[in-house]
Structure 1
Amino acid sequence: MAAITAERLFELVVARRHARWAAARGGVEYGRGHYPVMVALHIGLIVGTLAEVALGHRAFVPMVGWPALAGVVLANAARWWCIRSLGPQWNTRVIIVPGLPLVSSGPYRWVRHPNYVVVIAEGLALPLVYGAWLTALLFTLANAALLMVRTRVENKALELVA
């Protein structure tokens, strides 16, 4: 969990750097209202997992935990593939720089929002590494609602500049 937390903090550093890059090129942010909810949800994934393990006395179940850990590792590799493919256009916020073409390389060749697929996979896998099935379920349900909002905002923003 410490490694995932550190990775998330590093993502925020990258996102801030990319936000400055976008702002210098006239980038416009969309959907600010859902961003604090997204941050809270992702913090809740980590805190919820730790709390469920501690309070629910969850044990590591190798038959579930090891495949879940492999899923977390693969999800994070895929996340960084997404970030690398988008380059400075990647952000945790929806920031669109007018005039830039849609990225169609890397995983974006096959999926419009591959990073969201990654978030879904990790939201299930991370808690299950530790046996925190309730957190996996609650995060998945809340994340589904959030992603409905997020993808709508992002798709609309992309249409405005296309």
Structure 2
Amino acid sequence: MIASIVILVLVTVQRLGELVLARRNTTRLLANGGLETGAGHYPLIVGLHAAWLIGLFVLAWDQPVNWIWMGVFVLLQLARIWVIASLGGRWTTRIITVPGETLVRRGPYRFLSHPNYVVVALEIGVLPLAFDLVAYAVVFSILNAAVLTIRIRGESRALAGTGTPEV
């Protein structure tokens, strides 16, 4: 039970820290001429992630931890750090393009167009599995896939409109 609470608190603190970083990067990108697109679906993403985390607190706070799934989740956190580090000051939770900037092609972006979304999709399913919440993992994975479909379409359109060569 204590382990479950500690894990959920750490994930919450991590996500809140990421929101602070994202806000700082967003502010800087917009100040440098960045253009936000897809803002209409952003509340869906925030709502989904908040509901996912709140639901985990409600259902998993007193559950034993499956340390194998927890190990997978930790590996996903390393992948998340790689994604954020690869984008540097461009990483944000919003879709912002800066005219004249080239697309990032380092780190995991050498292999995938949207590695952040792969990590997020896996996290949405894996963390509930660490608490043996299989149905919860399936339901939120389906909901996340629906939201990501909208998000990736919007981001792909925004990035295609940059008209800049890839780096």
TM over 0.5: yes
Structure 2 residues not aligned, in runs of 5+: 1-7
Q: Which residue of 1 aligns with 2:145?
A: 144
1:68 equivalent to 2:69? Answer yes
| In structure 2, distance between residues paired with 1:123 and 1:161 | 30
Deviation at residue 78 of structure 1 after TM alignment: 0.7
> What residue is the counterpart of 1:111 in the other structure?
112
Which residue does the alignment assign to 2:122?
Answer: 121
Amino acid at match of 2:115: P
**Over residues 49-104 of structure 1, what are the superposed CA-to-partner deviations in whole Å (9 max), with x where a residue is unaligned?**
222336xxx7436xxx1121011111111111111101111110001111110000
Hey, what does 2:85 align to over in structure 1? 84
Distance in structure 1 (CA, Å) of the matches to 2:74 and 2:148: 22
- Superposed CA RMSD in Å reads 1.3
> For 1:29, what is the secondary structure of its paired residue?
strand
Is 1:25 matched up with 2:25? no
CA contact (8 A) 1:71 1:121 kept: no
Report the counterpart of residue 10 of structure 2 in structure 1.
3
Helix, strand or coil at the partner of 1:95: strand
- In percent, how many aligned pairs have the same letter? 44
1:95 corresponds in structure 2 to 96
Partner SS state of residue 104, structure 1? coil
TM-score between the two structures when normalised by the length of structure 1: 0.92
4+ runs of 1 displaced by more than 3 Å? none
More helix by share: 1
Deviations 1:103-129 (CA, angstroms, capped at 9, x unpaired): 000000001000001001111111111
Q: What is the CA-CA distance between 1:16 and the residue it aligns to?
A: 0.8
Structure 2 counterpart SS, 1:161: coil
Residue of structure 1 equivalent to 2:48? 41
Counterpart Cα distance in 2 of 1:71 and 1:123: 12
Aligned partners of 1:132, 1:48: CA distance in 2, in Å? 11
How far apart in 2 are the matches of 1:77 and 1:12? 18
CA drift at 1:134: 2.1
State the distance in 1 between where 2:44 and 2:38 align: 11
Name the aligned partner's letter for residue 15 of structure 1.
Answer: A
SS at match of 2:161: helix
Counterpart residue type for residue 43 of structure 1: A
